Amino acid sequence: MPKVDRRILKTQEALKKAVIELMTEKSFDEITIQDLSDRANVSRGTIYLHYQDKYDLLDKLIEAHMNELREICLSSADLEYVEAELLWFEYFERHYLFFSTMLASKGAPFFRTRFLELVVSVLHEDSCQTEGRNEEFHSDLVIEFFASAIVGIVEWWFKNEKPYSPQVMAEQVGKLLERNL
């Protein structure tokens, strides 16, 4: 893999940070390239060197977080639910501004759908079984049910400004999953 110039990485990070900060102040549709340029302290031309437009910037930012979450899932495949959930909630906490913005009303409206799709695919890959107490249900219904619950819990956690620590959230959500999956 070719080495990326640190200046490029620094510029891209500044732009990603700028778009998230601006989204806490106004809707994504109201953000202009000039707003991004001013906030990141780069020229408009520099933005276009890295991204096609503001939508491309946001797409790449979202995709990067989705890829990180997928990697966390892959690396925690052999862990118990509580341990795996702790990795997720610690990641959410480290990237609080991004996730709280994306899941808030000013966030990108398609983010929640994208996040839900990720959780569904992870549960499918995890081969959620419909044995025991869930054997009478179709596996796709069980997966959709729990994926919606997980996304809803994460959304609630951010909207309520993280009333519980990642450890408490992981323990509670992990035990709920263990008990019901």
Q: pTM to 2 decimals?
A: 0.88
Rounded Cα gap, residues 46 and 66, in angstroms: 25
Give residue 129's pLDDT: 56
For the chain, give every residue range classified as CATH 1.10.10.60: 1-51
Mean pLDDT, each 10-residue run in order, the chain (181 residues): 84 96 92 97 96 96 95 90 94 95 75 93 73 79 92 94 96 91 75
CATH of domain 1-51: 1.10.10.60
At 130 the pLDDT is 54
